[in-house]
Structure 1
Amino acid sequence: MSQALITIRRAMPGDAEQIAAVHDAAWREAYRGLIPGRELERLIARRGPDWWRAAVLQGSRLLVLSLHGSIGGYVSYGRNRAASLPFSGEIFELYLSPDCQGLGFGSRLFRAGRRDLAENGLETMLVWTLSDNKRAVDFYRRHGGEQVRRASEYFGAEKLGRLAFGFGPPAP
């Protein structure tokens, strides 16, 4: 019998290549058909290994899902960036490689990021997602998110809707 070694840990500079690969694959999976193609490719290209390495070295809060040493997903988070909304923390991004989706890993990463925020005094939090990203909208609703704001954002010439989900303090 073999057992999978699955951990969630802080990202290290040496993870940058694999985080970038997860980011690329996850964004193409999540946003193809939502974000215009040229704009999507431009957004993906901005987040190469050097960008991720710098984020880790600068102390960004970034956890990775490690499966036998390979990165299968990540969550980045920190202080809420929307001053007009009464939440202390924010999950900025949570992505899994397509082959890791639907297995409960997203929930594990979500809880780990939320727990770390709470342990650092940021007990309430916010998450933004594109309103047409049904998978993400359903995920955050299942995890107790309450829709607290609608907004829009331009991707190239196309205006897309965004939703903010608010979360109270995590259960003990």
Structure 2
Amino acid sequence: MADASVRTAQPDDVAEIARIHRDTWRTAYRDILPAEVLDSLDVAETAPAWADAVARGQVLVAAEGRWTVGFCVAGPAPEDEVANADGSLPADASTTALVSVLVEPRWGRRGHGGRLLATAAGHLREAGATRGVAWVPEADRSSIDFYAKAEWEADGTVRTLDAGGRPVREIRMTGGLSLLLTP
């Protein structure tokens, strides 16, 4: 494998992050989300939200050689993302982070996702976070397996989103932030 790295995203990464988001969802979720939802993903429309996350320092990018191949967005989790099914908050709600890792499928299985998650975990620990959560479509076995390899597990909390008139059930994965990079 060529030189692989993870770094904090910069403003000039926003267009590529938005493109990776669009292209990866169109590939990875084509059997999960309706075509019209995937077709409506527009880089120009999502770029401002990515620019905001990048400006807050919440996005890491993975590179292989000169190519940006994936990203991770991670930061403090809003209360509604960590709430228990009954709406109550767990004792560690204020130290729980919300994490999302996305690597283009053509660059998958090369360690980029693990590097992104481990690097994000380190940054989150330094900021005082004690655990992370990630929402994953229940039908996305690749992402569920990815988080499981990091010793994250489904915590029994589910939500159903409306994706263009089609319900999409998501499960919440959760785990510790003591992840280490290993060769």
Could you state the TM-score of these two structures normalised by the residue count of structure 1? Answer: 0.87
Looking at structure 2, the residues matched to 62 and 154 of structure 1 have their Cα atoms a distance apart, in angstroms, of 26
AA aligned opposite 1:119: E
Looking at structure 2, the residues matched to 171 and 101 of structure 1 have their Cα atoms a distance apart, in angstroms, of 19
Q: Which residue in the other structure is 1:157 paired with? A: 165
Give the counterpart of 2:71 among 65, 74, 78. Answer: 74
Is 1:166 the equivalent of 2:174? yes
Question: Given that residues 17 and 48 in structure 1 are in contact (C-alpha distance below 8 angstroms), is that contact kept between their aligned partners in structure 2?
Answer: no
Looking at structure 2, the residues matched to 19 and 60 of structure 1 have their Cα atoms a distance apart, in angstroms, of 14
Looking at structure 2, the residues matched to 169 and 15 of structure 1 have their Cα atoms a distance apart, in angstroms, of 26
Q: Which residue in the other structure is 1:16 paired with? A: 14
Contiguous gaps of at least 5 residues in structure 1: none
Q: Are the structure 2 counterparts of residues 54 and 37 from structure 1 closer, same or farther at C-alpha, using a change threshold of 3 Å?
A: same
Q: Any idea what SS the aligned residue of 1:129 has?
A: strand
Looking at structure 1, the residues matched to 23 and 179 of structure 2 have their Cα atoms a distance apart, in angstroms, of 32
Looking at structure 2, the residues matched to 100 and 54 of structure 1 have their Cα atoms a distance apart, in angstroms, of 26
Q: Any idea what SS the aligned residue of 1:99 has?
A: helix
Q: Which residue in the other structure is 2:83 paired with? A: 84
Matched residue pairs, number? 167
Question: Given that residues 150 and 161 in structure 1 are in contact (C-alpha distance below 8 angstroms), is that contact kept between their aligned partners in structure 2?
Answer: yes
Deviations 1:74-130 (A, max 9, x none): 000111122414351110x21112221011111111111111111110121111100
Q: Any idea what SS the aligned residue of 1:34 has?
A: coil
Deviations 1:31-57 (A, max 9, x none): 101100101222x21654444334323
Q: Return the offset for 1:161.
A: 0.9
Q: Which residue in the other structure is 2:87 paired with? A: none
Looking at structure 2, the residues matched to 18 and 168 of structure 1 have their Cα atoms a distance apart, in angstroms, of 29
AA aligned opposite 1:69: R
Looking at structure 1, the residues matched to 9 and 116 of structure 2 have their Cα atoms a distance apart, in angstroms, of 13
Question: Given that residues 125 and 177 in structure 2 are in contact (C-alpha distance below 8 angstroms), is that contact kept between their aligned partners in structure 1?
Answer: yes
Identity over aligned residues, as a percent? 23
RMSD across aligned positions (CA): 2.0
Runs of 4+ in 1 over 4 A off after TM superposition: none
Question: Given that residues 129 and 136 in structure 1 are in contact (C-alpha distance below 8 angstroms), is that contact kept between their aligned partners in structure 2?
Answer: yes
Could you state the TM-score of these two structures normalised by the residue count of structure 2? Answer: 0.82
